[in-house]
Structures are given as structure tokens and as C-alpha cells.
Amino acid sequence: GTPGDLAGRHVVVSAGGTREPLDPVRYLGNRSSGRQGCAIATAAAARGARVTVVSAHAEPGVLAELPPQVDIVPVTTAMELHDAVRAAAVDADAVVMAAAVADFRPAEVADTKLKKHSLRTSGGTGEPVRQAAPVIPLAENPDILAGLVTDPPRQDGEHTLVVGFAAETGDADGDVLAHGAAKARRKGADLLAVNAVGTDQGFGDVPNAVVVLDAGGTEVARAQGTKQEVAEALVELIAARLSGRHP
Ligand code: C5P
């Protein structure tokens, strides 16, 4: 790839892990570090793109490593990420959904800290008995990636390249690819980077290895190496697609 070949392009990258509040002090979250998204943002900026990172929670120091010209939009929840990604994507040439988005959120957020269920005295015996553990009703979050495909924020007739990530498990590459291909077709993203997790053979051997599928579930590329190397390979695919050079 030629450095500078993304000049004039706007690339939006979501990164990190959403946190869904339960009350003022508790949330449902995940272990996403934000590193893969930030590596993609850095690789796109290095090729001259204007880059917006919509960042849910990232590990300390990860956002600080972004080049200074990258715009950072901090968010907390999946709904905030949804709104911020769609707002940033109105003039985006590519959107890369690298964030780990909670599929569900607590249906209601308590406005005061929830108390541990109180002990109550049972009728008659005087022995304290615990109430059943509380159940937290959940509400479904929108699939942001799928929504970018079915209802594109960009309205000027230009196509926005939509790129997703999927972590798939399986005992063999074949399983992982079959799951990935089904997801690629379901979500309809232009590119889906499938990561094998918990595979003890094949591409899952390498800590950062992805197979990139197109919207039909067909393999278009493989990339492995550091997160930076995987990011550079993905940005190369994005640049190729944006310039009409299909791999
Ligand atoms: O379905 P799954 O969570 O495996 O899909 C992962 C991909 O979908 C990632 O690109 C993630 O950012 C995106 N996603 C999303 N909205 C959700 C859940 C996942 O955009 N609610």
C-alpha cells in the first residue's frame, strides 16, 4: 500500500468494550482492551485518512497511543456507541466495528445503589432465611453493525464500506469458518474479520490471526502477526476496496 492513499477519506473505528449500568456504581462489561481498534485507527491515519475513534472503555494508555490527529469520541454504553457511530458515519468512507458491544443491557437502571438483599426473618422459627438471588431483567441492544448495512447513515449516495469483527469458537478451522461465514451472511458487512478463539489447530494457533470474509461468506484474505500487522493488513484491504482494487 501507498502511504497517503487514504488522504481525503474518513474512516470511523469503534473500539473498546461497552459498559451497561445497573445502578450508579455497577455495570455489565467485558474484557475488550481497545487495542485492535486503536491499531486499525493508527494504520488508517498513517495512510492519510481522517480518523474518528468512537471509544467505549479501553485499558489505560491505549487511547494515549493514538496519533494526535485522530478524533476520539468517548462513550460508555452500546446505545451511546450506536448513536455516536451513526453520527460520525454520515460522511464515512469506511466504518470498522472493532468494539465489543454488549448484546443486552439491564432493562432498568436504578437511580440509587442497589442493596444486597436484606435478610428477613422467617415466619415462626425466628431463623433468618435468604431471599432468592435477584434476577436482572435485560433488554436487547441494537446490532450496530447490521444496522449500518440495512440503514446506512450516509445519505449522499456514496457507499460506506462496513467492516466487522467476529470471534468464533470451534474445534477446527472448518467449524470456525462455517460459523464466520454464517455470521458474514447474516450481518451483510462488506468485510468480516473472523478470529478463531479456543481453536488448538490451524489459524487459531496464532494469538492474532484473522480470516477475512466478504458479505457472501467467501474468504478474501488471511492475516496474522501482531495486532499492528493485522490492522495494517485490514487497512490494506479497505484501501484496495475504496480504490476499486478488489483483492
Ligand atoms: O454477533 P457478534 O457480537 O459476534 O458480532 C461481532 C461484530 O458485531 C463486531 O464487529 C461488533 O462490533 C458488532 N456488534 C454490533 N452491535 C452489537 C453486537 C456486535 O455492532 N450489538
Q: Which three cell numbers stand for residue 167?
A: 470471534
Q: Which of 97, 104, 190, 191 to mutate to test the pocket of ligand 1 (most atoms within 8 A of CB)?
A: 97
* ipTM of model: 0.98
Ligand 1 in contact with 75 (CB < 6 A)?
no
Return the pLDDT at 238: 98
pLDDT score recorded for residue 115: 84
CA distances 225 to 154, 199, 231, Å, are 33, 17, 9
Atom 5, ligand 1: which residue's CA is nearest?
166
187 is in an annotated binding site: yes
User: Is the CB–ligand 1 distance for residue 144 below 6 Å?
Assistant: yes
Task: Return the pLDDT at 128.
Answer: 67
Position 1 scores a pLDDT of: 56
pLDDT of residue 133: 84
Residues 145 and 192: their CA atoms lie apart, in Å, by: 10
The chain-wide mean pLDDT, for the chain, equals 92
Q: For residues 112 and 23, is the Cβ–Cβ distance under 8 A?
A: yes
pLDDT < 50 positions in the chain: none
Handedness of CA 140, 142, 145, 146 (dihedral sign): positive
User: From CA 166, how far away is CA 159, in angstroms rounded?
Assistant: 22
